[in-house]
Amino acid sequence: MFEKTNLQNRQVFQKTISLLTRPISLGAIVLLLINDHLLRKFWPSWWTGKIGDFAWLFFFPFLLAIFLAWLIPSRLSNQEKIVRWLAFGLTGSVYILANTLPEFHAFTVGALEWALNCPVALKRDPTDLIALVSLGAAWWFWDHQSNSIPSPIAPIWIALPLSILLTVGNLGVEENGITELGTENGNIIARSTLWDFTSKDGGISWQQNETRITDNSIFLEENEEYKKYRFTPGVLIEISENNGVTWPYKLTLSQPNQAELVHYENREGNSHYRAGPLDAVIDNATKNIIFAMGHEGVLVFTGSSREWVWVTVGAYGHFEYDTWIKVLNLLIGELLLAIGFGLLVISTLTLGLRRGWFKKILILVGWVLWGINTFSFRPALLTGPYGKTASYYDYTFLAGGILVLIILALYNTSNLTRIGISRKILLRLATIGLGSIFLFLLPYILWALNILPEYVTAIFFALSFGVAILFIGWQATHKLIEQIAIEDKE
C-alpha cells in the first residue's frame, strides 16, 4: 500500500514537472521573456501588455502545481484533482479579482510589496481578462498530458527558476526618477518610484520623507487663477501669466546625449530615462511652477525673477559632463584601454629587438584581450545592475590584458637597457606611446562632451587614429631598431 501511494505521489509530481517542461510551456516562458525585455521596451503597445499575460497564464498554473504536488499529502486518493483545482483556481481568481476590484488590487500590491520588499507595478486593467483564454488552454493541455510520459528532468532546472524569475521580474517597477508632483498643507510633494520628498519653499530645496505618503488625494493640484503652463515632454515648456492669452516664457528642452543617458540609467534599481516634464504643479505661496523631470530632478520657474532653475531632489538631478573629473570617472575603462594600446604599440614596434616566440605570444594575447574589451564590453556603456555586474568581468579581462602588457614593458625595458639603446630612440618610443594613448582616448572624450554623438563613432575614430600612429611609428623607428638588432647579433 505504501509503495502504491509513493508511486502515485511521484506520478502527480512528475506530471506537473512534465507539464512545465513541455515545448509549448517552454515556448510560453520564452515568449514572456521576449515580450517583457524586448517588445515592451522597444515597441510598447496595447498588444505587448496582453501578450505577457497570455504567456504567463499558460505556464504559471503548472509552476504552482509543482509546489502544491509537493505540499499536498500523497495519501489523498484525489491528490491530482486537488492540486489541479487549487493551481488553476488560485491563479484565475487572483488574476480576475486583482484586475476588477480596486480593494483586492490594493491588497495584492501590498502583499507582494511586503513579500518582495520592493515596490511592485501591478496595473488594474479589466481588459486583461481576455487573457483567461490562455488559462483555459492550459487546463485542456493538462487533460491531454498522460501520466505515463516520462518527464525530461534536465529542462526543469532551466524552466523552474526562469519561470519564477520572470514572474517576479514582471512585477518590477521602472525607476523613472521624479514623476509626480502635488500639494499637501501648502507644501510641495515630489514622488519617485521609491521615495517621497517635501519642499516648503516652492521647490528650491527638498527633504526626503521618512515614510511614503499613501493618500493619493494630495496630488490634486491647486492652480493659481491666472498662471498657466503647458509642455511637450522633451521638447518645450511654455508659461502664461494672463490665463493663456499669451505665452511669453518659453524653454526649449534638449535631450541628453548618449553619455548623459549612461549616468541617468546607471542607478540602483530598474532605472530608465524618460524625457520630462512628466508632471507639474504651481506653488501658490511663491508663485513658482515646478516641473517633474524624472531622473533630472525638478525644474523650477521662479515666480519672482522669472528664471529657470534646475534643482536636485535626493539622488535625482540634472547632469552634464562639465568637469574633467566627471569625464574621467565615465571613461576610466577607456583610459585603461588607451594605456594598454600605448603599451601594445611600443611592444609591437620593438618586436625586431627580440624575435623569440615568448614575446610574440605575449603581444598576440595582449592584442586579443585588448580587442575583446574595446569591441565587446565598451566599459562606458555598461549601465544599471546588469551593467555593473558585467563591468566586473570587463575589468577582469582588462586587468589581465594590462598585466600582460606590463610584463611586455618590463621585458622590453630589460632588452633596451642591455642593448644600450640611445636616448633618442627611447624618447621617440616614449613619444609614440604617449601619443598613442592620447589619440586613442581623444574620440571618447569628444563623445562624452557630445561632440561625437555615438559611442560607435568614437570607436571608429579611436581605431583610425591608432592605426595611423602605429604606421607612423613603424616608419619612424623600424629601420633604427632593425639596425640595432643586427648590431646586437654581431
**64, 90 in Cβ contact below 8 A?**
yes
Residue with more model confidence, 129 or 227: 129
The reply to whether 269 and 221 lie within a common domain is: yes
Alpha carbon distances (Å) from 118 to 135, 175, 272: 28, 12, 17
* Number of domains comprising the chain: 3
The band of 356, judged by pLDDT with boundaries at 50, 70 and 90, is low
279 phi and psi, to 5 degrees? -170, 170
The reply to whether 94 and 189 lie within a common domain is: no
* 317 domain residue, yes or no: no
Q: What pLDDT is stored for residue 212 in this prediction?
A: 60
Q: What pLDDT is stored for residue 308 in this prediction?
A: 94
Residues 254-275 have a mean pLDDT of 80
The last residue of a domain, from among 254, 286, 311: 311
**Which one, of 214, 218, 173, lies nearest residue 193 by Cα?**
173
Residue 484 has pLDDT above 60, yes or no: no
Q: What pLDDT is stored for residue 439 in this prediction?
A: 93
The last residue of a domain, from among 154, 172, 190: 172
d(CA 4, CA 97): 40
The last residue of a domain, from among 311, 342, 359: 311
Residues 221-234 have a mean pLDDT of 72
The reply to whether 293 and 348 lie within a common domain is: no
The reply to whether 46 and 137 lie within a common domain is: yes
Task: Give whichever of 215-224, 307-316, 384-393 has the largest mean pLDDT.
Answer: 307-316
* 318 domain residue, yes or no: no
- Residue 177's CB is within 10 A of a number of other CB atoms, namely 28
Residue 303 has pLDDT above 50, yes or no: yes
The reply to whether 153 and 214 lie within a common domain is: no
The reply to whether 79 and 101 lie within a common domain is: yes
Residues sharing a CB contact under 8 Å with residue 163, sequence separation 6 or more, in sequence order? 20, 29, 59, 60, 63
The letter for the amino acid at 35 is N
Residue 367 has pLDDT above 50, yes or no: yes
Whether the full predicted model's pTM is greater than 0.75, yes or no, is: no
Is the previous residue joined to 277 through a cis bond, with omega within 30 degrees of 0?
yes
The reply to whether 228 and 114 lie within a common domain is: no
* 188 domain residue, yes or no: yes
The letter for the amino acid at 168 is V
Q: Which domain holds residue 22?
A: 2-172
The reply to whether 347 and 303 lie within a common domain is: no
Least confident of 6-10, 33-37, 157-161, 342-346: 6-10
H helices present in 191-320, as ranges: 258-265
SS3 content of the chain, % helix, strand, coil (to 5): 60, 10, 30
Q: Indicate which CATH number applies to the domain containing 292.
A: 2.40.128
